[in-house]
Structure 1
Amino acid sequence: MATSQARLGQQALAVLDVALRVPCIFIIDAIFNSYYDPGSGWVGVMGKVFVRVMGVLISSVVLLLSQKALFKFYTLFFAVLLGMAAVLINYYATSHIDFYSAYYKAALGFRLLPRNGPTLWLGMAAVQLVFGVGYVFLLNLQSVFAALVVLDIMIPLWGLMIELPADVRQLVAVFSGLALALNTAVCLAARLKWFYYSCRYVYLLVRHMYRIYGLQLLLEDTWKRIRFPDVLRVFWLTRVTTQALILVYVVRAVRRESGDATGGVADGISDSQGYLLSWDVFWDLTSNLIISGCDSTLTVLGMSAVISSVAHYLGLSILAFIGVITHRSLSLSRFDLKVRLSRNMCLLLTAILHFIHGMTDPVLMSLSASHVSSFRRHFPVLLVSLALFVLPVALSYALWHSYALNTWLFAVTAFCVELCLK
């Protein structure tokens, strides 16, 4: 029982470790794919370059942190976020009394919270109390300092409840935010020593491994330690899923607007059009997702990691293959990129068929040499052999009727003919 619980705990830590490294990949990918404005002057260009370089550097450092250091970094990061959220809520609550009411009325169409009264103050106090307790817990403050921090967060709400003048409320909120910022700065400064020794330890460890084992083993160890293939898979699947949800939402919104503009459409038909996608629309969405799923180097690596994990069950090692053949297609247009991906998938299919033939060939040779005529032993292998003969013929027939004559078609046909002859 204890062993199973320990195993579950290790798996949970591994999942959390991978999930916390994924935002670094998103930030690096966003920086590399961000829009460059050349007309902002050399000062603006240098500033943007500096910000991008620092963003990539910090994200790379966080990505390569050890598991313990990664958890500690995110603990401090979330503590800072909770402190900022508490300060912003205090500022907006003291500066704009009807802020929440106006927001909910504009966003939802009805007033969810009252303009004044105990309900509003109690709700805000509960939110601020949760933020304060979370801030104290993440920074691991002592009991006395923890009480003072929570009191500092709650003081602006007390000024709001007793209806102090607006200037006084804003002044109290500003001083409360400054006190919380000072406490955060002191806590972070107290951990600078730990950060320095952690960086020094990592540097000495990397230098030691590089001198003894070399660069290749160092990269392999780092690759396994941070679970980089799993990070790439989660990054790519999350990105594609988000894009799919956005595209489906946009398509449904456009359909609803077009239905409202035309008018006179039955409710059942409009509902079915809003929630069901036709085959053409589904194919266009899938094509756009596949194309956008390999529009940068990191997304190509993510797609390769996903395909390699699927192909791992077939015994294939195609990560480098997919990465190379797709990396050359990044500068093409969307239509040309879709054509190139389709051709690469055809080549990949022939490679998989060749691999399956390599698995079945020894079994066929052993069965042909044996004198046992068992239908149960011969039928599965013969069925696979028949599929290996029919699929290349069908693929060649479909390609010759769909594409013009070119070198790629000759290559695929040669692979298919070779497979049939085998």
Structure 2
Amino acid sequence: MSWLGRLGAPLDILVRIPPLFIMDSILNRSFLWFIVPYDHLSSWKEYFIWLGIMTVFFIGGFCLFFFSQRKLMQIYSYLFTICILLASYWYNLHYVYQIHSQQITDHYFTLTSQIPEPLEMKNGDFIKNGLIQLFLSSLYHLVWIFQRYGTEDNRVSNSLGQIGIHLSFLFPIILKISSQSDKFILWSPMAALLFPMFLMTMDILSSLSEFLFMTRRMYSIIHLTISTVGLHAFLEDQWKRLHVPQVLRCFYVCRLVYILVQHFIRWPKHPLERVDIEETDLSYETWAEIIQNLLVRNCETLIALLGTTSVISLIAHYVGLFMAFCIGSNSEEDRNMGTVSAILFFILALQTGLTGLAPDKRLVRLYRNLSLLSTAILHFIHGMVNPVLLSLSASRNMSIIKHVRALAMCLFLIVFPVCLLTYLWREHSASTWLLAVTAFSVEIIMKVLVTLSVYTLFMIDAYRDKFWEKLDDYVYYVQSMGNTIEFFFGVFLFCNGGWIMLFESGGTIRAMMMCIHAYFNIWVQAKEGWKVFMKRKTAVNKIKSLAEATMEQLQEYNDVCAICYQELKSARVTRCNHFFHSICLRKWLYVQDSCPLCHQVLYQPNTNAGPHKNNNHNDYQNNIVINDDNILNHQ
């Protein structure tokens, strides 16, 4: 790959940062403040004019972000061309002013005197101005060639255009040498811009026609793509094309550097505070204030909040990779901690109105949101270590290192919430936020204890010589207790969120999140738990309807269970005269009612039970137990 190809992706990221700065500066009311001072708006008419201007620029910046790299470079070249023309006009204006300052009117003098003189040109120093104009004209010609790259053009037109550009930029000097008329020289800086502006206008008009054609073509492509592969695939492709996470992180870094430069340029704030800055180091309090200021400033607008979210996503991603490495997990789902953390942080920020708070309150709210996010990450880590630990115990893997790594992670999931709660309750008084953090922390501790209990039961079973028929019952009791506690914590968090919405800080987003929480964490869990309980109860009733094998039948059968291949010390006899462990057959009945060997129906429902019970019976056949499915696989 050539060096241009290697620079393609970084350049595509860099060219999308300026539109983000435009939208961010509009949201924090610092965009074009010297032209449209919003603090001095005196009437509703001026306010609506200002609002209209800012809306146009915001929509323009938003659209710029989605342009292709080639179009963005072309737009930036036009902006750079305008800067070159302004610089040329600036120098020519001062050159003319130095020659004929006495003949310029008071109004003309008022306009020009506000602009500082870039170079000291005395006695009509046209050589210095001529060199500057030659440099600017050469730069303008290079940009003009870049804008016309890929169009049908020839060297003759390029040469003529280069000569015309040089002569236009040097027009005030040429006019001074060839003519002594002061009347035309006063207008020469403006006349010098006519030919370059004509070239730029023609290029813009040709680009507009091309842009309209490309817009219609792009609309057709987007419509065809969505209808072919779907909206989700299209959005994912655009997410990769625009490099959204990388652009937001680069924007965050650039904004961070800008705030730091802005802070240190104004250091010291008072002359008496620092007599000699080189001999005085920044104190701890000063650095703490700087860090706090950076955290607050990078959450003051929605665009800045997206940049902060992308950085938190990157940090959480590497934390997840480290945790997965520690416990030895290779699952792809365990590497999505960055995405989950970013979504949670952004939802918390919108739910609490982080961007609309005062700086001091925003810092406190950010601190609280990060505390909630840390407890959520602990739940994600538990979701990583739980299957690993249960798999090690159920598969009878005796690798001490793997067990120690998984158990050490469980110890961390217990110690860290305890330390966090100790610190928070020592430093803060009771509040709804602290109760929420406490509930999340206690919940993760209880989930870890449930995991360790199930792990212990499986390890005991691994060292037993005989088949432990009651193992499934004990595991079910432990997991049911854990699920019940988790359900009550969900109800408590719902009530806590309702109190916050009614008496502290409400909002549409908080109401939506409460509805989602009530459905998925309360209603769905309660429904699934009741379904598991009823399936287990039905399976037990089915097992009790079968005859229990006697010792003479077991000695005569003299075989193993066809489900688990373990020795039959006790068994249930089916109507088709097959022998199975009671617990193994119960697990099989969770899935279907047919015999594992001959596929005959094991359980005939009571014909007097009515159609309603038959429908329930069919539902039990068509569903698989969620909580006990892992146990069936382990066995």
Q: Do they fold alike, i.e. is TM over 0.5? A: yes
Q: Measure how far apart 1:278 and its partner are.
A: 1.0
Which of 54, 57, 60 is the equivalent residue of 2:56? 54
* Correspondence list, 1:206-355, <5 A: 206-213=222-229, 215-250=231-266, 252-254=267-269, 256-260=271-275, 270-273=277-280, 276-313=281-318, 314=320, 315=335, 316=337, 317-327=340-350, 328-355=353-380
Residue 138 of structure 1 is aligned with which of 141, 146, 149? Answer: 146
Q: Match for residue 92 of structure 2?
A: 90
Moved more, 316-325 or 384-393: 384-393
Partner of 1:414: 439
What TM-score comes out, normalization by structure 1 length? 0.81
Contact 2:24 2:303 (C-alpha < 8 Å) held by counterparts = yes
1:124 aligns to what?
132
Q: 1:171 aligns with which of 169, 187, 200?
A: 187
Note if 1:20 corresponds to 2:15.
yes
**Rounded Cα–Cα distance in structure 1 between residues aligned with 2:303 and 2:213:** 31
Per-residue deviation, 1:193: 2.2
Instruction: Verify the 8 A CA contact 1:350 1:412 in the aligned structure 2.
Output: yes
Judged with a 3 Å threshold, the aligned counterparts in structure 2 of structure 1 residues 280 and 153 are, in CA distance, closer, same or farther, namely same
Q: 1:182 maps to which residue?
A: 198
The structure 1 residue matched to 2:426, chosen from 401, 411, 414, is 401
User: How much has 1:349 moved relative to structure 2?
Assistant: 1.6
1:362 deviation in Å? Answer: 4.2
The number of aligned residues is: 397
State how far apart, in whole Å, the 2-side matches of 1:417 and 1:323 are: 24
Deviations 1:161-183 (A, max 9, x none): 78956544333322221222222
Residue aligned with 1:258, SS: coil
**TM-aligned CA deviation for residue 229 of structure 1:** 2.6
- Segments of structure 1 that go 5 or more residues without pairing to the other structure are 261-266
Structure having the higher Rg? 2
Q: Structure 1 CA distance, aligned partners of 2:14 and 2:198?
A: 31
Q: Which moved more, 1:69-78 or 1:311-320?
A: 69-78
TM-fit CA distance, 1:58: 2.1
Match of 2:106 in 1: none
Comparing 27-36 with 378-387, which one deviates more in the overlay?
Answer: 378-387
Alpha-carbon contact 1:113-1:120 (below 8 Å) kept: no
> CA separation in 2, counterparts of 1:41 and 1:259?
43
The CA deviation at 1:378 is: 5.4
- TM-score scaled by length of structure 2: 0.56
> Cα deviation per residue 1:294-343 (whole Å; 9 max; x = unaligned)?
11222111211111122223231222211111122233222222111111
CA distance in 1, matches of 2:415, 2:279: 40
Segment of structure 1 superposing worse, 155-164 or 411-420: 155-164
Q: What does 1:35-54 align with in structure 2 at a 5 Å threshold?
A: 36=38, 39-41=41-43, 43-54=45-56
Cα distance in 1 for residues equivalent to 2:13 and 2:166: 33
CA distance in 2, matches of 1:44, 1:138: 40
- Distance apart, 1:96 and its partner CA: 3.6
One-letter identity of the residue aligned with 1:416: S
**SS state of the match for residue 357, structure 2?**
coil
Report SS of the residue matched to 1:415: helix
Q: Against the structure 1 CA distance between its residues 393 and 98, is the aligned structure 2 distance closer, same or farther, given a 3 Å change threshold? A: farther
Alpha-carbon distance between aligned partners in 1 of 2:38 and 2:428, rounded to the nearest angstrom: 38
Match of 1:264 in 2: none
In the alignment, structure 2 segments of 5+ residues that lack a partner are 30-36, 102-112, 149-156, 321-334, 449-635
Distance in structure 2 (CA, Å) of the matches to 1:360 and 1:24:
42
Matched to 2:354, the amino acid is S
Closer, same or farther in 2 for the Cα pair 1:36/1:377, shift >3 Å? Answer: same
> Using a 3 Å threshold, how does the CA distance of structure 1 residues 173 and 332 change in structure 2: closer, same or farther?
closer
Return the offset for 1:142: 1.7
* Structure 1 residues 349 and 39, CA gap change in structure 2 (3 angstroms): closer
Cα offset, 1:184, TM superposition: 1.9
Match in the other structure for 1:69:
71
SS across alignment from 1:191: helix
Q: Deviation at 1:292? A: 1.6
Find the counterpart in structure 2 of residue 370 from structure 1.
397
Measured at CA, do residues 120 and 162 of structure 1 come closer, stay the same or move farther in structure 2, by a change above 3 Å? Answer: farther
Q: Does 2:83 match 1:78?
A: no
Contact 1:125 1:157 in 2 (8 A): no
Pair 1:342–1:45, CA change in 2 (3 A): closer
RMSD: 3.3
Contact 1:329 1:337 in 2 (8 A): yes
- Could you tell me how far apart the structure 2 residues matched to 1:282 and 1:385 are? 36
Q: 1:395 Cα deviation (Å)? A: 0.9
- Contact 1:347-1:412 at 8 Å conserved across structures: yes
Q: Aligned equivalents of 2:195 and 2:417: distance in 1?
A: 72
When residues 354 and 163 of structure 1 are mapped into structure 2, their CA distance, relative to the original with a 3 A threshold, is: farther
CA distance in 2, matches of 1:186, 1:82: 17
**Offset from partner CA, 1:179-221 (integer Å, 9 cap, x none):** 2222222232233321221222122223333444555444443
Q: Is the 8 A contact 1:363 1:381 kept in 2?
A: yes
Q: CA deviation at 1:381?
A: 4.4
Cα contact 1:388–1:420 (8 A) shared by 2: yes
Higher relative contact order, chain-length normalized (CA < 8 Å, sep 6+): 1
1:300–1:330 Cα change, 3 Å: same
Residue 128 of structure 2 aligns with an amino acid whose one-letter code is: L
d(CA) in 2 for partners of 1:98, 1:388: 80
Residue 28 of structure 1 and its aligned partner are, at CA, apart by 1.8
Aligned position for 1:263: none
Q: Aligned residue for 1:201?
A: 217
Aligned-partner Cα distance in 1 for 2:197–2:342: 47
Q: Do 1:95 and 1:169's aligned partners in 2 also have CA atoms closer than 8 Å?
A: no
Q: Deviations over 1:222-250 (max 9, x none)?
A: 33322223222222221122112212332
Opposite residue 164 of structure 2, the aligned amino acid is L
Amino acid at match of 2:285: D
Deviation at 1:16, TM superposition (A): 1.4
Q: Cα gap change, 1:75/1:395 in structure 2, threshold over 3 Å: closer, same or farther? A: same
Greater share of helix: 1
Indicate the larger mover: 348-357 or 157-166: 157-166
